[in-house]
Amino acid sequence: MRTTSFHSFPCHSISQRNVSALTPNTLALKYREKRITLIRATMEATQNDENALSQPQPQTLSKNAQKKLLKQQRYEAKKAEKKAQEKRQKKEDAERKRKEWEETLASVTEEERAKLIESRRSLRKERMEKRSEEKEKKMERLNKAMQCGHKIVVDLDFAHLMTPSEIQSLVQQIMYCYAVNGRCTSPCHLWLTGCEGEMGSQLKRLPGFDNWIIQKENRPYIEALQEQKENLVYLTADAETVLEELELKKIYIVGGLVDRNRWKGITMKKAKEQGIQTAKLPIGNYLKMSSSQVLTVNQVMEILLKFIETKDWKVSFFQVIPQRKRPEADPEGCQVEGEENEGIDDQLDSKKKCVEVPSQRKRPEADPEGCQEVEGEENEGKDDQLDRKKKCIEVPSHG
């Protein structure tokens, strides 16, 4: 009969009294089960460690990015506070007007009261008719744009890279896009692609979203517009090609991403991987931005719509881009280089450099105590100060 050695197995879990009552085969099976259980536990722990290492680590922000994020958060908080204050003010104004109306009705006779009420009803009816007429014209323009308008796609396939507050901000921008497109005399054919998941849920919460006259696609644009891939143009600030004209056959894509500069170059990378064309707005040809040339989705949309209407990039940029993003821009047309700018700089330098010129008026000598012996000396001293402040000479710039 073959015997089994037990020196390779730990024996501390079984008492010495029970060992004599077990056969060698039974002991071998028990130790084998414990060893298998231990090996399995070790393998599971190792697998969990490997899975944890393989998962993408959260991207840490640099100090500069953290400062920008904090500044943006303060701006959002201030904006929310301002909005709440405006809402309260609007409510207070409505309450005040209601009280004034009631006081007006109480202070007149029955006949005058009936006339006032009738006049108010007719004004309200007129406003409602005008609003209904404008709505019909808007729907007519949007339906026509769906057939033969310029095509602009908002790529909403970046929801997984954004926080809930950033998704909400993007949804608000899309709402502004639809509003400005409806008011425009020459609206475009607006597409929303990637309307699924959290992004789709947030969009459906918008009032009247199901009735919007736009093209909605749950699929990415590369799948929904696969047959027109050669006409796709992704608008990104990282592109080398400058957009000069908007062609009717082209489909222009705007990246729907609110990332606070965490994902720089991601739209350019996506377009290259998909093998589609890229282009950037000719912002640098007309003005100098104070920061990056990255704009919000609704700003890009407004610029494109304004260009469709005016065929003038300069007018489109200056009417849409906020002043805070172009502090050095000249509203008459900003040039980056050239003699014209140099002349303007020289004029600005000469205006700023002023030298005090002593007054031509002679002062009488002052006594040791600092007091002058001529009458009106105090007024003369003030006049001299005014003369010195007013007399400035232009000094040519050294630049």
CB < 8 Å & 24+ apart, contacts of 205-211: 205/171, 206/171, 206/175
Q: How far apart are CA 155 and CA 172, in angstroms?
A: 15
Q: How far apart are CA 388 and CA 392, in angstroms?
A: 8
Q: What does the angle CA 342 – CA 346 – CA 348 come to, to the nearest 5 degrees? A: 115
- Which residue among 259, 330, 346, 387 is the active-site one? 259
Nearest CA to 355 out of 396, 297, 312, 302 is that of: 396
Neighbours of 262 (CB within 10 A): 17
- Beta 232-235 vs 251-255: how paired, if at all? parallel
CB 282 within 8 Å of CB 242:
yes
CB 307 within 8 Å of CB 246:
yes
Q: Clarify whether 259 is annotated catalytic.
A: yes
Q: Specify the residue for token string 């009458």.
A: 375
Q: What does the angle CA 296 – CA 328 – CA 263 come to, to the nearest 5 degrees? A: 30
- Output phi, psi for 262, to 5 deg: -85, -30
Q: Specify the residue for token string 């517009």.
A: 225
Going by the DSSP 8-state scheme, the letter that residue 184 receives in this structure is S
What amino acid positions are annotated as catalytic residues? 259
